[in-house]
A and B are shown apart, each in its own frame.
Chain A
């Protein structure tokens, strides 16, 4: 297990030696992109208002607060990761079209994303779920917001972050997938456990 700081713009060679289970921290640009942003780019073919090439996206819907006396300027209150699997359907195309290099989220993603990470050299990493104030503390500035018409959780919040983490690499550029491996291990154990419990639940008369 390695620990390393990645800085945007992230280069392919920054990622190639990373393996699943490694710990990384991010410095630079982190832009929230979740369900509706993926929908707008991939399904509705709308142009993204933020250039994501070499940057990191965050599957997250934050609590932001407008700073008093500074209309349009926000501070982040809480910003933990959301369930990455919801974006699985579009993520491979999203990586290809944007040139993003790091996806930060929660929980695993599937084969589609793993293929995208392998083909276009990107990494998926998880921030500990629910730890939203910890994450907010790593944000230096919310530079701007785009697509606020989608509402606070779904808008694109463009943030500068410093040593944002810990981030646990869950899909590496070789396409290895930590959560899929874990899921396989859990499922291997499952049948025997279920069978054992079922020997004690024949309550029907």
Chain B
């Protein structure tokens, strides 16, 4: 296949995959929600879980976005230096978003700052947002699509603590933010925490933590232990689905870290709602693809 043919194929697949992301939850999220639903027996929690699963069923039957807020589209790209379309990925993803917006249809969510105009096609300055990781000596590309509604972006926060505030400061910030803002962000939440030396690194890692599959653990034993403690602690608050109280609060807590400066502990927090629309696709050099996040998916 020539490059033009490859380019058209890549755009088409990414447009359809982006649409798909808005209609079907990834396997790990679906399984976790089923598990959490079975633990609830109060009237309000049951009503909310019933509504959630009825919504997923209807979205499937009617082929529609399961939540109206299809987000400002973000792509997290891990691209091999020998991937044939490496020079064109950004341009192709912009085209894919335009196509997906009509095809979905997706909600128009890109509002230009200062001009305060909605662009109407989900493309705007630096949007879709693309995060790059370059993989040496490799001809594949793995792309995460992430669709976060405004609601679950509202609890987001990042700040730089002084080291003597310690990891205690991290824990306190997470709990303060979840009890005040998290309850409105469509729990059960997936909680992403980034710990680093400066604010932008911590914030970015907190979002990357949300891309990890539910059930995965931080690579450092202390990190994994802290994840488990915060998860158990948040669940003990019994926030429940929709913040209406119940047996649990979160689908999981993920921490990602970068080595910090001796004089700072920066912490970032991102939250994903129950409708955590994160999808992963992997292309080889011939533009053949495998969908990793949704088993048996057909585009």
Task: Tell whether A and B belong to one assembly.
Answer: yes
**Interface residues of A, count at CB 8 A:** 56
A–B pairs, 12, beta carbons within 8 Å: A77-B105, A78-B64, A82-B150, A106-B186, A129-B273, A131-B52, A132-B55, A132-B65, A150-B118, A168-B242, A200-B229, A202-B166
CB < 8 Å neighbour of B64 from A60, A61, A77, A186: A77
Beyond A129-B151, A131-B54, whether A197 also contacts B184 by CB under 8 A is no
Which residues on the B side are within 8 Å of A186 (C-beta)?
A: 179, 183, 237-239
**Is B13 interfacial (CB 8 A cutoff)?**
no
Beyond A65-B105, A128-B242, whether A23 also contacts B229 by CB under 8 A is no
**Is A54 interfacial (CB 8 A cutoff)?**
no
Is the beta-carbon distance between B118 and A203 smaller than 8 angstroms?
no
**Interface residues of B, count at CB 8 A:** 65
**Is B167 interfacial (CB 8 A cutoff)?**
yes
Is the beta-carbon distance between B118 and A193 smaller than 8 angstroms?
no
Which residues on the B side are within 8 Å of A112 (C-beta)?
A: none
Beyond A1-B43, A80-B68, A129-B273, whether A201 also contacts B151 by CB under 8 A is no
A-B pairs with lowest CB-CB distance, top 3 = A107-B184, A151-B118, A128-B51
Beyond A63-B106, A132-B65, A186-B183, whether A193 also contacts B222 by CB under 8 A is no
Is the beta-carbon distance between A107 and B185 smaller than 8 angstroms?
yes
Q: What's the count of A-B pairs with C-beta under 8 Å? A: 189
A132–B274 Cα gap in the complex (Å)? 13
Interface of A is mostly: mixed
Is the beta-carbon distance between B184 and A85 smaller than 8 angstroms?
yes
**Is A166 interfacial (CB 8 A cutoff)?**
yes
A203–B265 Cα gap in the complex (Å)? 12
**Is A182 interfacial (CB 8 A cutoff)?**
yes
What does the 1/0 interface line of B14-47 toward A look like (CB < 8 Å)?
A: 0000000000000000000000000000011001
**Is B225 interfacial (CB 8 A cutoff)?**
yes
A122–B55 Cα gap in the complex (Å)? 28
Is the beta-carbon distance between B171 and A62 smaller than 8 angstroms?
no
Stretch at the interface among A6-14, A45-53, A133-141: A133-141
Q: Which residues of B approach A to under 8 Å, CB–CB?
A: 43-44, 47-48, 51-52, 54-55, 58-59, 62, 64-70, 104-109, 111, 117-118, 120, 149-151, 154, 163, 166-168, 170-172, 175-176, 179-180, 183-186, 222, 225-226, 229-230, 233, 236-239, 241-245, 273-275
A187–B176 Cα gap in the complex (Å)? 8
A84–B243 Cα gap in the complex (Å)? 13
**Is A190 interfacial (CB 8 A cutoff)?**
yes
Which residues on the A side are within 8 Å of B117 (C-beta)?
A: 151
Question: Which A-chain residue is minimally distant from B187 (CB atoms)?
Answer: A129
Which residues on the A side are within 8 Å of B107 (C-beta)?
A: 61-63, 78, 152-153
Is the beta-carbon distance between B184 and A131 smaller than 8 angstroms?
no
**Is A179 interfacial (CB 8 A cutoff)?**
yes
Is the beta-carbon distance between B47 and A166 smaller than 8 angstroms?
yes
What does the 1/0 interface line of A14-52 toward B look like (CB < 8 Å)?
A: 000000010100000000000000000000000000000
Is the beta-carbon distance between A194 and B55 smaller than 8 angstroms?
no
Is the beta-carbon distance between B66 and A133 smaller than 8 angstroms?
yes
A144–B118 Cα gap in the complex (Å)? 20
CB < 8 Å neighbour of A63 from B70, B118, B168, B274: B70
Question: Which A-chain residue is minimally distant from B239 (CB atoms)?
Answer: A186
Is the beta-carbon distance between B163 and A83 smaller than 8 angstroms?
no
